[in-house]
Amino acid sequence: MSELELYEGKLEALARERGLDYFPVNFELVPGSFMMEVAVYGLPVRMPHWSFGVRYFYQLVQHRMGHSRLFEVVFPGNPGRAYLSKNNTPQENTLIVAHVLGHADFSKNNELFRRSQEEVGYNIVEKAAEHARRISDAAALHGDDRVEAVLDAALSLEAHVDVFAGLRREPYPEFLDDRKSGSEDPFQARYQALEDRREMKDTRRRRRAPQPPRPEKDLLWFVANHAPEMEDWERDIFLTVREESFYFYPVFATQIMNEGWASYWHARLLREADFLPQSTYLDAVKTHSDVVRPYAGSKQVALSINPYHLGFCLWEKIIEYRGLDQAREIMRQDDDFSFIRNYLDEELARELDLFRYEAKPNGEIRVINTDIDELRESILTPKFNFGAPAVSVRHMRTDGTLELEHEHHTDGRGLDIERARKVVEYLHRLWRRPLVLDTVDAGGKPQQITVK
Amino acid sequence: MNDEITGGSGGPFRWYDLFSRGARDWLRHSEKVRDAVRQRLPEIISDAEILGGGHRTVRVPVKLLEHYRFRLRTPESQTAAGQGRASPGDVIRAPENETGGQDKGHGTTEPGGVQFVLELAIDDIVDWLWEELELPNLQARVGGMSDEEYTREGLDRHGARSRLDRRRSMKEAVKRRHVQGESAPPFSDDDLRFRQLVHRHVPTTQAVVFFAMDVSGSMSVEDRQLAKTFFFWVVQGLRRQYKYLETVFVAHTVDAWEFQEQEFFQVSGTGGTVASSAFEKVLELVDTRYDPERHNVYLFYASDGENSPQDRQPAAAALARIGAVASFMGYVEISSPARRGGETETAALFRDLAGSGDVGSYVLTAPEEVWDAIRAFFIDRTQQDRHPS
């Protein structure tokens, strides 16, 4: 702790000198159990649900087997909150403080982060705790089972939001817009302007717009706003889950950039921190090379890509060739999709020994190729829409039947039917009217799931 | 939350020390698993291994529950990006042996794929199963064995310190002082009052349950297993539910014998079927050991129903005599889809007596139905819908 205090101020001064621009960060040392729960819930205090219990169990097993060690978690905001594990050594914490400052810089300036914080607020930790409290209140009022049923549905649709449509959205237009019928045509314009014609138009029935007017990706929003028989508190829980998804989106969609940026800065700040004793610096460098490396332990091949390492290498390259100012501009504007597509080039991919492999059902794993375009897509595919399939609301019938559609052309294959049915069943308990979901089977033939 | 860096200093508890959210949600998950297992109990109890004796637990394999989400169908083979010294065509992992361990490398990493074994105590299962069940027509019998209870009754000036009634003693003191006037001592030994305890006899319900089973040659190994499974869970349940319960086990072919419980569940026999031998044996035991005045008498009889036709008269007579004293008689016909359950000799015997309402029967064809059979006999008896009639 003394060491943390000793260097924290100096590291911050150095960071600001190097152009890092961030909201103040509160550091707190917490026990390992706390770190583990954050890893499970994504937030220090979050709504209760049994599915987190399952993840907690897996986390415990992994932890026992020594596979995971968490040094820190940072929550963006003003102030930002950084939780450091009590198990860290003071040397490790020196590095972690520098790392956290990199994150804080990123989350203040990156456009996705900035927008999500404008919408969700600069205090997600407190907000999520408040959500958890509201949901506990609802459980006390309406019963645990009913609240659990709502959360079963809402959390299973957690990934199905449309962050680009915004957190607070206007309702759909109620009527179809008629004006475009010939406003460009000068004759039509004059005809429309005729006096008795205008009267006629007023008496004419306007056509109701279909709901939704075009396929709706934001399932949580649509259900919360259009479910025919949901109670207000149930809609409220849906919107709560949705709000947290809006918070999680930039964390998810900029992971490579963000971890790379923080790693670049902890490495650079420590290198330039001449006030650090030599031994502290060496220990910190060792920690750096333990975390920012492509493969675990003695292995020579990894079947996944370490975002710390990939991001770190990308930023080093960018700053080397384009300078810090341009790098900051990229950091502000990009997300992982544009970042990987624009800056992971063939040269770097070869340098990093990246490859594509195929895992066959019989357990065989074979390297396919190192084609750069396919490599980029292999890295990015699991990241679209939180990695969830593209399911949208197609239509709501007049009897309240909800038609959902899986855009299998986008995803390249159909849904797992058994799981999809279960999700539709979760939703049916709240929609309380029939539900239909269209997808395709293994042979590409249409498959329809119906729950009445 | 505090705003400075905190370490070893600060209060002994922080908000996150107070309870574990992960453990709370894990407990809720476990509860759901147990609920799911409860739904499957009828299958679990038909597991024959339990009857071996000695086991007080049943091991049930269960999976971690999966919270479902939309997911793409798992493709035949998956492609992804990796990193390391490898060139196209390199095999990083060789295919596994085609015959064994197909699912070893695959699938086990998926959530929901983990299996673990839940060990359920038989007593717990019995508790769950018998929650809502009871012996039919159970009545308190006069002169039966009685519960002895100590009950408070009256007060005395002497007694054990622990039974001092302070409130009464204070009242006595107030009364005495009122009579004696100002000079009276505030308290004296005479004021003390002690509660007295007396024995009281509480009439109890006593019951004897006869389990009779046909072990003749026509009963196959599976048939007997089915009958024993039924009896096993009935015995477990009744023991759990009733404090004063005697059980008698009778098996018969052309003759009938009384068995100890352990032996009864192992017994097998050969030869013909004379049901009256078992009924006579039951009557004999009732006469010598269990006075119907003092006992609720129950008979449960399991057979494939193929009684010798010559035995029709004697069996009917004996059964009628048992019916006269018994609170309830239940007949379980061990049948199979091939046989026409409920239309046998023995079924007819019980059907003839069925008018009295103290007789029930059930056709059991598969282990999964054991639980339904138990319900049919022990749940609210006005709604037995699966009777052959």
Complex ipTM value: 0.88
Interatomic CA distance for residues A336 and A390, integer angstroms: 19
Average pLDDT over residues A114-134: 94
Average pLDDT over residues A415-444: 95
Closest alpha carbon within chain B to A80: B3
A149-158, A412-421, B71-80: lowest mean pLDDT where?
Answer: B71-80
Instruction: Considering only the beta carbons, identify the residue of B4, B81, B87 that sits closest to A375.
Output: B81
Q: Residues in chain B with pLDDT < 70?
A: 1-18, 42-43, 45-56, 96-114, 131-132, 137, 139-149, 201-205, 337-342, 355-357, 379-389
Interatomic CA distance for residues A333 and A323, integer angstroms: 16
A48-57, A246-255, B133-142: lowest mean pLDDT where?
Answer: B133-142
Strands B91-93 and B78-84: unpaired
Instruction: Considering only the beta carbons, identify the residue of B70, B79, B94 that sits closest to A378.
Output: B79
Closest alpha carbon within chain A to B109: A58
Helix (H), strand (E) at residue A130:
helix A124-142
Q: Give the gap in angstroms from C-alpha A252 to the nearest C-alpha of chain B.
A: 18
For chains A and B, CB pairs below 8 A equal 246
Instruction: Considering only the beta carbons, identify the residue of A5, A79, A294 that sits closest to B5.
Output: A5
Closest alpha carbon within chain B to A441: B73
**Residue B102 touches partner A, C-beta closer than 8 Å:** yes
Centroid of chain to Cα B337 = 28
Q: What part of B 164-193 touches A (C-beta under 8 Å)?
A: none
pLDDT at B15: 66
Contacts of residue A36 in chain B, CB cutoff 8 Å?
A: 22
pLDDT at B10: 41
Q: Give the gap in angstroms from C-alpha B40 to the nearest C-alpha of chain A.
A: 19
Instruction: Considering only the beta carbons, identify the residue of A8, A53, A156 that sits closest to B68.
Output: A156
Residue B156 or residue A334, greater confidence: A334
Interatomic CA distance for residues A86 and B329, integer angstroms: 69
Q: Are A407 and A416 in contact (CB under 8 A)?
A: no
Domains of chain B: 16-69+109-124 (no CATH), 146-203 (no CATH), 207-383 (3.40.50.410)
Sheet with strand A25-30: strands edge to edge: A25-30, A80-85, A72-75
| DSSP annotation string for A285-331 | HHHHHHHS-SSSTT-SEESS--HHHHHHHHHHHHHHHHHHHHHHHHH
**Residue B18 touches partner A, C-beta closer than 8 Å:** no
Contacts of residue A49 in chain B, CB cutoff 8 Å?
A: 25, 28, 67
Q: Do B16 and A361 touch (CB under 8 A)?
A: no
Q: Give the gap in angstroms from C-alpha B207 to the nearest C-alpha of chain A.
A: 41
Contacts of residue B27 in chain A, CB cutoff 8 Å?
A: 53
**Residue B28 touches partner A, C-beta closer than 8 Å:** yes
pLDDT at A444: 87
pLDDT > 60? residue A202: no
Domain boundaries of chain A, sorted by first residue: 2-110+254-343, 124-165+215-251+389-451
Q: Do B84 and A300 touch (CB under 8 A)?
A: yes
Q: Do A159 and B95 touch (CB under 8 A)?
A: no
pLDDT at A258: 97
Instruction: Considering only the beta carbons, identify the residue of B4, B71, B75 that sits closest to A389.
Output: B71
Closest alpha carbon within chain B to A38: B22
Interatomic CA distance for residues B29 and B209, integer angstroms: 40
Instruction: Considering only the beta carbons, identify the residue of A37, A300, A389 that sits closest to B85.
Output: A300
pLDDT at A178: 58
Give me the percent of chain A exceeding a pLDDT of 90.
68
At A257-271, the pLDDT tens digits run 999 999 999 999 999
Strands A80-85 and A25-30: parallel
Closest alpha carbon within chain A to B91: A366
Closest alpha carbon within chain B to A437: B70
Closest alpha carbon within chain A to B69: A156
Residue B37 or residue A238, greater confidence: A238
Interatomic CA distance for residues A196 and B133, integer angstroms: 82
Strands (E) across A116-171 are located at none
Burial (Cβ within 10 Å: 0-12, 13-18, ≥19) of residue A330: buried
Q: Give the gap in angstroms from C-alpha B236 to the nearest C-alpha of chain A.
A: 32
Instruction: Considering only the beta carbons, identify the residue of A34, A40, A305 that sits closest to B81.
Output: A305
Closest alpha carbon within chain B to A419: B68
pLDDT > 90? residue A50: yes
Interatomic CA distance for residues A430 and B67, integer angstroms: 17
pLDDT at B216: 86
Q: Give the gap in angstroms from C-alpha B102 to the nearest C-alpha of chain A.
A: 7
Q: Are A148 and A49 in contact (CB under 8 A)?
A: yes
Q: Do A355 and B26 touch (CB under 8 A)?
A: no
pLDDT > 60? residue A201: no
pLDDT at B109: 38
pLDDT at A204: 55
